Structure 1
Amino acid sequence: MSNFVQKYIKGDQVMWGIIVFLALVSLLTVYSATGSLAYKTQGGNTTHFMFKQLFFLLFGISLIIVVHRIPYKYFVFFSLPLLYVSIILLLITVLSGQNLNEASRWLTVPGIGLSFQPSEVAKLGLVLYVSRVLAQHQRDDGPTEGAFWPIIIHTAVVCLLIFPENLSTSLLLGGIIMLMMFLGRVPFRHLFFTGLTGTAIVAIVLLLAMNDVVIVDRAETWASRFEDYMDDEQEMSKFGGDYQITQSKIAIATGGVLGKGPGNSDQRNFLPHPYSDFIYAIIAEEFGFFGALLVLVAYFIFFTRIGVLVSSSNRTFPAFMVLGLGIMLVAQAFLNMGVAVGIFPVTGQPLPLVSMGGTSIVFTCLALGAILSVSRHYQEEREQQNAKVQNSENQ
């Protein structure tokens, strides 16, 4: 086993440890949280979803191993084809997507019945493309002028295609691209007016929906969630407020410091999607404050390792790629956890590598593989340099 790890598992070992830890948390929590779903859909076979999740996790970790062995320079060539394929898939989804959980975000592969979310493909493709464009336009003597329009046109197309059925993903992706452009020295005036325009569009859609003028099918749901979020605690207690957030807070509160123990959650029977959108509440209920804190710290440590990797990079494309993919995963994690504790409105974002869902796990692992590819490359460079120093000293 140790020989396998030394030969095939390269790159940041702390990141690898976090991946294994989150995968174990996922298995335990998904097994517990899917009990009611198993009785409804699988005739009481409570291990069905756990083994399904295990399959996706093992497949995902295998992807990480394969992808992190690929030299990161090849991701430059994949970026544009992957982006255009994702745009085509998003167009197909808008026209004939499968409706699951009251949103048409899914496509089903004909013949095998496998469903996936094209928005996950788009997130990966767009971040790689933006990294490529920013790297190509970097200058030592001034701002990155030429990168803005190629980036903003492709970002607008992707985000507008995602927007009608998945506001949170559209805003999250748009925000990450804006941050990447800011750090890539794109002139601030461009970013300011772009951000102002995007905010105005979302605000207008929500305000119209609050006044019963619906121009996007899911706008009423977004407006309702926003109104529930803005209600104070007294109103929520009196009128019931948002059911999901209420049940999530009950789960967290009753978990206490040490939790009820694995498999002993009560709120899994009342909380909608306890195995995906609100899995962090089940973690807090079963493993307590310390268990939930440990998961939070794991993502925070992952974020710090991203920072170390970016700061040590001496090339622009891998630095931007690691930055974009890393922030995307961490921001999604913090958003999911923030929703569970009531900091943010309900968004429907899964907890990366923990929530049940094949699409999320596969594309999370592809992103992790790309990040670890950069880490592996720099690790091998350091080993080669150290070997040269030792050889020169021996001579």
Structure 2
Amino acid sequence: MRKLLSQFQGDKAIWAYVVLLALFSFMPVFSASTNLVHVVGTGSIVGLLFKHFGHIFVGIVIIFFVHRIPFDRLKYIAPVAWVPVSALLLITAAQGMMIGGANASRWLKIPLLNISFQPSSLGWIALIAYISWFLWRFADEKYTFGWSLLWLGVPTLCIIGPVLPSNLSTAAIILFTIALLLFVGKYPMKYMTKIITACAIMIALAIGMFKAFPDMAPSRYKTWEARFSRFGSEDKDEDRYQIENAKIAIAQGQMIGVGPGKSVQKNFLPQSSSDFIYAIIVEEFGFLGGMAILIVYILLLFRFLVVSNKAPNLFGKYLAFGLGFSIIFQAFINMGVAVEIFPTTGQPLPLVSSGGTSIWMTCVSLGIILSISRKEEQVKEQLANQQKKQDEFKRILEEQQAEDDLKNENDSDDNPIYAVLNK
């Protein structure tokens, strides 16, 4: 067992928090699945639970294999990884999938494997890796605004462009993460100000144009507008229906909750096992359970920052920060939606919500972060071994010097001339 556990290297605290969240997820997913079975009529409770177990198991395997790969190898992949991912996103967007008259082109199906996934999650990782590479590669070089805008703007637009029409929240989170990563990477503030100002003007012009010419607006524009305009209001619509039931679930939880599996609102929340799973957790485990989950994510954020700070090079530093922050920010968004701090989005609770793509892409990010921390441990071990060798060499020299001094003293005592002079 000890030999098996020794294969799971890297930051032990991160491993512990990941396993803790994964194990805890089975109870709320199992409880919330009754909504899908009895209300929606999807499969069986046991079947959905085993499906979630399969997602978690594959996710842990992904973390294990990714964390064993030296993260430095990503330096050769990061500059070009966004190109094939952009192609996947364009193919996904070109499908033109519509649900209720709105663009829902988020999923890409692989016919041979009969599985579907969201390429936007892969684009998220690819773009963070590219920005981290850029900040590392040109850290000591001076560049103009136009030159840097070309290097940063083209990959960002190629990733964000296909994602935005069908998934505004994901596109916004990616952009916010990239902006924060550029700030941490000491990208010139005067350039950042120009970019932010230009984006604000473009957004204002786009909103004005869509209001003046509604036919030119994306199919989901009305949904976005309704979510922002009715955020915090008492209007009765589908979004308010979800929020109100989430708030009822949280209110019923009180301090210690109604008990595992005893949630009532899971039967009324359409996305009780994914988007609104935090409301079910608070209902069943109370304020204390909800705070416990929040604290675990905060502790994870702290460990990510520690790994970033101790990374062996700038590429690892920025990569750990970007990937780690995106995971925690997604968790805060999910919890914030449940308590109506943010408008309704489709962001899952990392490692807790059901869903294969979200779990697996989170695990890819965690594997990369653990690979960075594993490299830190290897560097520390090498330095410790070098120090140990130096101490051993120093000890041998001291012993040899002591033997030489003793030999010289004995030789001097045996010398007749030294003996006469000594008398």
TM-score range (shorter-chain normalised) is over 0.9
Change (3 A) 1:239 1:40: closer
Q: What SS does structure 1 have at the residue aligned with 2:222?
A: helix
Q: Which amino acid aligns with 1:359?
A: T
Residue 293 of structure 1 is matched in structure 2 by 291
Structure 2 CA distance for aligned equivalents of residues 2 and 363 of structure 1: 29
Please say if residues 239 and 344 of structure 2, whose CA atoms lie closer than 8 Å, have aligned partners that are also in contact.
Answer: no
**Structure 1 Cα separation of the partners of residues 88 and 322 of structure 2:** 22
Q: CA 1:336–1:130 in structure 2 vs 1: closer, same or farther (change >3 Å)? A: same
Aligned to 1:224: 226
How far has the Cα of 1:354 moved from its partner? 1.1
Q: Distance in 1 between matches of 2:278 and 2:154?
A: 36
The CA distance in 2 between the partners of 1:376 and 1:97, in whole Å, is 42
**Aligned in 2, Cα 1:176/1:118: closer, same or farther, shift over 3 Å?**
same
Cross-structure match for 1:25: 24
1:325 corresponds to which residue? 323
CA deviation profile, 1:166-209 (whole Å, cap 9, x unmatched): 11111110111111112222221221222223334444545666
Shift of 1:3: 2.1
Structure 1 unmatched ranges of 5 or more: none
Q: Over aligned residue pairs, what C-alpha RMSD do you find?
A: 2.3
Aligned letter for 1:159? I
Letter in 1 for 2:73: Y
CA distance in 2, matches of 1:190, 1:313: 27
Mapped contact 1:280–1:292 kept (Cα < 8 A): yes
> Structure 1 residue 78: deviation in Å?
2.2
Residues 1:203 and 1:255: Cα distance change in structure 2 (over 3 Å): farther
1:46–1:240: structure 2 CA closer, same or farther, 3 Å change rule? closer
Q: Is the 8 A contact 1:138 1:144 kept in 2?
A: no
Compute the TM-score of the two structures, normalised by the length of structure 1: 0.92
Deviations 1:26-72 (A, max 9, x none): 21111111112123566762111111111111111111111111111
Instruction: Give the structure 1 partner of residue 279 of structure 2.
Output: 281
Question: Relative to structure 1, is the Cα distance of residues 164 and 380 closer, same or farther in structure 2, using a 3 angstrom cutoff?
Answer: same
For residues 306 and 230 of structure 2, what CA distance do their matches in structure 1 show? 39
Deviation at 1:273, TM superposition (A): 0.4
Give, in whole Å, the separation in 1 of the partners of 2:144 and 2:2: 46
List per-residue Cα deviations over 1:237-290 (Å, max 9, x = no partner). Answer: x89971111111111110111111111111111112011111111111111111
Q: 1:318 to 1:44 in 2, by over 3 A?
A: closer
State how far apart, in whole Å, the 1-side matches of 2:37 and 2:126 are: 35
Which residue of structure 2 aligns with residue 159 of structure 1?
160
Deviation at 1:84, TM superposition (A): 1.0
1:366 offset after TM fit, Å? 0.5
Q: Distance in 2 between matches of 1:27 and 1:155?
A: 36
Alpha-carbon distance between aligned partners in 1 of 2:129 and 2:351, rounded to the nearest angstrom: 20
How has the CA–CA distance of structure 1 residues 44 and 330 changed in structure 2, closer, same or farther, with 3 Å as cutoff? closer
What secondary structure is seen at the aligned counterpart in 2 of 1:263?
Answer: coil
Which residue is equivalent to 2:247? 249
Counterpart of 1:371 in structure 2 is 369
Q: What SS class does the counterpart of residue 253 from structure 1 fall into?
A: helix
1:206–1:223: 8 Å Cα contact kept in structure 2?
no
SS in 2 for 1:34: helix
**Change over 3 Å in CA distance of 1:212–1:245 after alignment to 2:** farther
Q: Is the 8 A contact 2:311 2:373 kept in 1?
A: no
Q: Residue in 2 aligned with 1:54? A: 53
Quick one: distance in 2 between partners of 1:283 and 1:339?
14
Q: Does 1:76 align with 2:68?
A: no
Larger radius of gyration: 2
* 1:276 to 1:201, Cα distance in 2 relative to 1, 3 A: farther
CA contact (8 A) 2:312 2:375 kept: no
Determine helix, strand or coil for the equivalent of 1:104.
Answer: coil
Aligned AA (1:244): Q
Aligned to 1:174: 175
Q: 2: CA distance between counterparts of 1:325 and 1:240?
A: 32
Count of equivalent residues? 389
TM-score between the two structures when normalised by the length of structure 2: 0.86
Is 1:121 equivalent to 2:122 in the alignment? yes
User: How far does the alpha carbon of each residue in 1:2-47 deviate from its partner, in whole angstroms, 9 at most, with x for none?
Assistant: 32112x1111111001100110122111111111212356676211
Q: How far off its partner does 1:82 sit?
A: 2.6
Cα drift, residue 314 of structure 1: 4.1
Contact 2:67 2:369 in 1 (8 A): yes
Q: What is the alpha-carbon distance in structure 2 between the residues aligned to residue 278 and residue 41 of structure 1?
A: 16
Letter in 1 for 2:67: H
| Percent identity of paired positions between Structure 1 and Structure 2 | 37
CA contact 2:165–2:218 (8 Å) conserved in 1? yes
Structure 1 position 149, deviation (Å)? 2.6
* Aligned positions of 1:100-119 closer than 5 A: 103-119=104-120
| Residue 64 (structure 1) aligned with residue 63 (structure 2) | yes
* One-letter identity of the residue aligned with 1:3: K
How far apart, CA to CA, are the structure 2 residues paired with 1:92 and 1:44? 30
